[in-house]
Chains A and B, each alone.
Chain A
Amino acid sequence: MIIASLAFYLFSIMAVIGALNVIFQRNPVHSVLWLIFTFFNAAGLFVLLGAEFVAMILVVVYVGAVAVLFLFVVMMLDINVIMIREGFLKYLPVGAVIGVILLVELAIVFGGWTMAPDAKGFRVLPTPDMSRISNTEALGRVMYTDYAYLFQASGLVLLVAMIGAIVLTMRRRPGVRKQSIAEQVNRDAKDTVTLVHVESGKGLS
């Protein structure tokens, strides 16, 4: 078990270092790279918890899609870090005070944490026996049966996000020349090429 706890400390320390670097890097591109590093460590922590499906999803979705998207956005936007940092020292005291208050509150809440006496009995979906059924299968059984309603509702939320992005950004500009592949492929020699018989000595009129 010593290996497991060593791995735990390794992943957690690296995750914390990565998170700090996300905030303190001067170059936003580096921040995103550190973010990816943090995601990998978090995935490692999930594996240690026995949640290998979530771990893989974290790598596939967050690293593979979200972070790469971030990277593109950051590279496309010309962010001036100095400008963003301008108010940093001014807001630091207020931010620090709020942070400390929240931390103390969290400590109090979790220090005195108790569960409802019958909480175990109220569980809707107890964890199935992990030696007989895999993570993915257990999640799938719940998600597409009991929680099918929530699954569909989240689909609608994503659809609205998509519509919203299109509504807010798509513009039809007149006069833009776009390549129309279908038109190019369908072009026929008959429509465009004409053979003209030119009598010698007269030229084209």
Chain B
Amino acid sequence: MSHLPSFSPAYPEIFMAISALVLLMLGVFRAKDSTNLTTWLTVGVMAVTAGLAITGTHDSLTFSNLFVVNGFTVFAKVLTLLGAGLTLLLINSWAHEQKVARFELPILVLFATLGMMLMISANDLIALYLGLELQSLSLYVLAAYHRDNQRATEAGVKYFVLGALASGLLLYGSSLVYGFAGTTTFGGLAAAIKSGPNTLGVIVGVVFVISGLAFKVSAVPFHMWTPDVYEGAPTPITAFFSIAPKIAGLCLFLRVLVGPFESMIEQWQQVMILISILSMAWGSIAAIAQKSIKRLMAYSSIGHVGYALIGLVVGNEEGARGLLVYLLIYLLMNVGTFAVILSMRVKGQYVEQISDLAGLAKSRPGMAMALAALMFSMAGIPPLAGFLGKYFIFVAAVNAGFVALAIVGLLASVIGAYYYLRLIKIMYFDEPAAAFDPPGLTAGIIMAASSVLMVVLFVVPAPLVNSAEAAAKALFLG
């Protein structure tokens, strides 16, 4: 009756899925502890997948239009894989130190990343939901991975229950949208929504879909799980949470809003403006009172999502470019910062209070310098890349006429600068606390490389900006 669909656009995903199964078998049947082996193989798989994605087919639809590949998805996938691969290295060294290494750990990360890739390439509401669920389920398990730790299990349960609620919202919204349009493919939805007046039903549906997605990227007012889960989950897994899912989620968010719901821009723009402003404001204000550095990073990531959402609100090519640039820089900053947080050990014990950083400049000047560079970058202070990210976003907003939004963003980043700079003040000017152990090799390399890249990217932004621009163009072509 029908012939086989073309598999070539999905080669990266197929390769990843098959390797995940093979690695699982390897781990199960190999008698010795194979965490190290599977981790390095997983990193290799991610690298090969990224290579396949870059060299593979661009601009095609397959599996009866359920799956799309274009320049934008390729860029987003490479970013996601980069984030996942780097955090996996951090996870590996942590798991061995804590003696909780099990071979399922890298495989769950691999499955989560596969879910993100499916999300990014989804061209249908069902495909979107399945990708999201594959990602979320793996993340719930990862949050509770340290199962003998009460806080980790609490984080896992909390994440699971609230995540299930968000999935419910998303599904409910999708069903309303489907009821209106009679189809779930993005192309069909775009045509159906364009063709008729947007009735209340479909608007409510879109708002529910937005709420579900906003939960997954932890934008205010759907952020309440973030600080608790980030604090409770093991630190390197928190690093993973704060990077790869955010990148994939925001790229998916953008694709959904400017794809099927493009002609409803007036309706969703209001909602997105509100979400963006609230996230920026709450991310900056609530972070001030935090004592734990992991909670601080949770609020910081809420704030960063707020800034990134400005690029989404604008809803044009410039905004998409700003978003992609922002995401890459956010990725590097967060990986570096978490590498520092993972090196906060006193006599083999992990500490995570901000006050533990006191006087770091005297005991470990290199680490203090790396963290200072990353914090300046997070605050968006030039000559560091964080400034560029915010710059492209704000310029896109101003050019599209959202001056007020850009001003709110600027104000929020001034407030945010306070708590980033406070960390630097504590490190450089406070009385020294107990000295940290020397950082591990992986963490050391990652923190050094990311802080150096902050400067390099500021000096030579052209390659990044150009490729982001090409990706953004591809999004609005197809």
Which A residues form the contact surface with B (CB < 8 A)?
105, 108-110, 112-120, 122-124, 141, 145-150, 152-154, 156-157, 159-161, 163-164, 166-168
Contact (Cβ within 8 A) B102 A167? yes
Given known A116-B192, A119-B180, contact A157–B200 (CB-CB < 8 A):
no
Q: Which of B114, B115, B144, B192 contacts A168 (CB 8 A)?
A: B144
Q: Tell me, in angstroms, the Cα distance from A159 to B137 when the chains sit together.
A: 10
Bound state CA distance, A118 and B183, in angstroms? 11
Q: Does B134 contact A (CB under 8 A)?
A: yes
Task: Out of B64, B137, B156, name the residue touching A161 (CB < 8 Å).
Answer: B137
Query: In the complex the two chains form, what is the Cα distance from A188 to B140 in whole Å?
Result: 49
> Which A residues lie within 8 Å of B138 (CB)?
160, 164
- Whether a CB of chain A sits under 8 angstroms from the CB of B415 is no
- Judged by a CB distance under 8 angstroms, whether B176 is at the interface is yes
Which 4 interchain pairs have the tightest Cβ spacing? A119-B182, A164-B141, A149-B63, A116-B192
Instruction: Please tell me if the beta carbons of A164 and B199 are within 8 angstroms of each other in the complex.
Output: no
**Cβ of A113: which chain B residues have Cβ within 8 Å of it?**
179, 199, 201
Instruction: List the A side residues contacting B192 at CB < 8 Å.
Output: 116, 118-119, 122
Q: Which of these binds chain A: B91-99, B103-111, B282-290, B428-436?
A: B103-111
| A164-B195 contact in complex given A115-B182, A153-B130, C-beta closer than 8 Å | no
Q: Say whether A163 contacts B200, CB under 8 Å.
A: no
Q: What's the Cα separation between A118 and B193 when bound, in Å?
A: 10
**Residue among A114, A120, A163 making CB contact with B107, cutoff 8 Å:** A163
Q: Which residue of B lies closest to A126 (CB)?
A: B182
Q: Is the CB of B133 within 8 A of A124?
A: no
Q: With A148-B63, A156-B111, A157-B133 given, is the CB distance from A122 to B183 under 8 Å?
A: yes
Q: In the bound complex, do residue A167 and residue B199 qualify as a contact, i.e. CB atoms below 8 Å apart?
A: no
Secondary structure at the B interface, as helix, strand, loop or mixed, is helix
User: In whole angstroms, how far apart are the Cα atoms of A141 and B119 in the complex?
Assistant: 25
**B381 touches A (CB below 8 Å):** no
Contact yes or no, B1 A110, CB < 8 A: no
Among B144, B182, B183, B200, the residue within 8 A (CB) of A112 is: B200
| Nearest Cβ on chain B to A179's Cβ, whole angstroms | 21
Q: Which parts of B183-222 form the interface with A (CB within 8 Å)?
A: 183-185, 188, 191-193, 195-197, 199-202, 204
Task: Report Cα–Cα, A109/B205, bound state, in Å.
Answer: 10
Q: Which one, A114, A157, A166, contacts B134 given CB within 8 A?
A: A157
Name A146's closest neighbour in chain B (CB-CB). B64
The reply to whether B188 and A167 contact each other, CB–CB distance below 8 Å, is no
Nearest-neighbour CB distance to chain B for A186, whole angstroms, equals 21
Query: In the complex, what residues of B have CB within 8 A of residue A159's CB?
Result: 111
| Most chain A CB inside 10 Å of its own CB: which residue of B63, B67, B191 | B63
Give 15 CB contacts A-B under 8 Å.
Answer: A110-B201, A114-B201, A116-B181, A118-B192, A122-B188, A123-B182, A124-B184, A153-B130, A153-B134, A160-B134, A161-B137, A163-B104, A164-B141, A167-B102, A167-B145
B67 A149 Cβ-Cβ under 8 A: yes
**Contact A167 to B196, CB < 8 A, known contacts A113-B201, A150-B66:** no
On chain A, the residues within 8 Å of B452 by CB distance are none
Give the docked Cα–Cα distance between A164 and B160 (Å).
Answer: 12
Chain B 336-371 near chain A by CB (<8 Å), digits 1 or 0: 000000000000000000000000000000000000
**CB proximity to A under 8 Å, residues B143-194:** 144-145, 147, 156, 176, 179-185, 188, 191-193
Query: A154 contacts which chain B residues (CB < 8 A)?
Result: 130
Q: A119-B181, A122-B188 are in contact. List 5 more A-B contacts (CB 8 A).
A: A115-B179, A150-B127, A153-B134, A157-B137, A159-B111
Asked whether B118 is an interface residue with its Cβ less than 8 Å from the other chain, the reply is: yes
**B residues bordering A, Cβ < 8 Å?**
1-2, 5, 10, 17, 24, 63-64, 66-67, 102, 104, 107-108, 111, 114-115, 118, 126-127, 130-131, 133-134, 137-138, 140-141, 144-145, 147, 156, 176, 179-185, 188, 191-193, 195-197, 199-202, 204
B201 near A109: Cβ-Cβ < 8 Å: yes
Bound together, the chains give a CA A150 to CA B377 distance in angstroms of: 41
Q: A109-B201, A160-B111 are in contact. Are A167 and B104 (CB under 8 A)?
A: yes
Cα of A153 to Cα of B66 in the assembled complex, Å: 12
Q: Which residues of B contact A160 (CB under 8 A)?
A: 108, 111, 134, 137-138, 141
Q: How far is the CB of A122 from chain B (nearest CB, A)?
A: 4
B145: A residues at CB distance < 8 A: 167-168
Question: Which residue on chain B has the smallest CB distance to residue A142?
Answer: B64
In the assembled complex, the CB of A153 is this many whole angstroms from the nearest CB of chain B, namely: 4
Whether B180 pairs with A124 at a CB distance below 8 angstroms is no
Closest approach, in angstroms, between the C-beta of A64 and any C-beta of chain B?
24
Check A153/B180 contact, CB under 8 A, given A122-B192, A163-B24.
no
Q: What's the least CB distance linking A111 to chain B, in Å?
A: 9
Contact in complex: A164, B108 (CB < 8 Å) = yes
Distance of B90 from chain A, by nearest CB (Å): 19
> By the criterion CB–CB under 8 Å, are B188 and A124 in contact?
yes
Question: Which of chain A's residues have a CB closer than 8 A to the CB of B201?
Answer: 109-110, 112-114
Name which residue of chain B comes closest to A125, CB basis. B183
The residues of A that contact B10 with a CB separation of less than 8 Å are 149
A118-B192, A156-B114, A166-B104 known; A150-B126 Cβ under 8 A: yes
B200 in complex: contacting residue of A109, A115, A149, A167, CB < 8 Å: A109
User: What is the CA–CA distance of A114 and B182 in the complex, to the nearest angstrom?
Assistant: 11
The answer to whether B17 and A156 have CB atoms under 8 Å apart is yes
A159 to B64, CA, bound (A): 24
Nearest chain B residue, comparing its CB with the CB of A112:
B200
Instruction: Report whether B141 and A167 are in contact in the complex, using a CB–CB cutoff of 8 Å.
Output: yes
Instruction: Write the nearest CB–CB distance from B209 to chain A, whole angstroms.
Output: 14
Residues on A with C-beta less than 8 A from B196 are 114, 116-118
The contact of B127 among A120, A141, A153, by CB within 8 Å, is A153
> Whole-angstrom distance between the alpha carbons of A167 and B200 in the complex?
45
Which residue of chain A has the shortest Cβ distance to B133 in the bound complex? A157
Smallest CB separation, B102 vs chain A (Å): 7
Known contacts A118-B195, A160-B111, A163-B24; A145/B137 CB under 8 A: no
> Given A145-B2, A153-B118, A167-B108 in contact, is the A122-B144 Cβ separation under 8 Å?
no
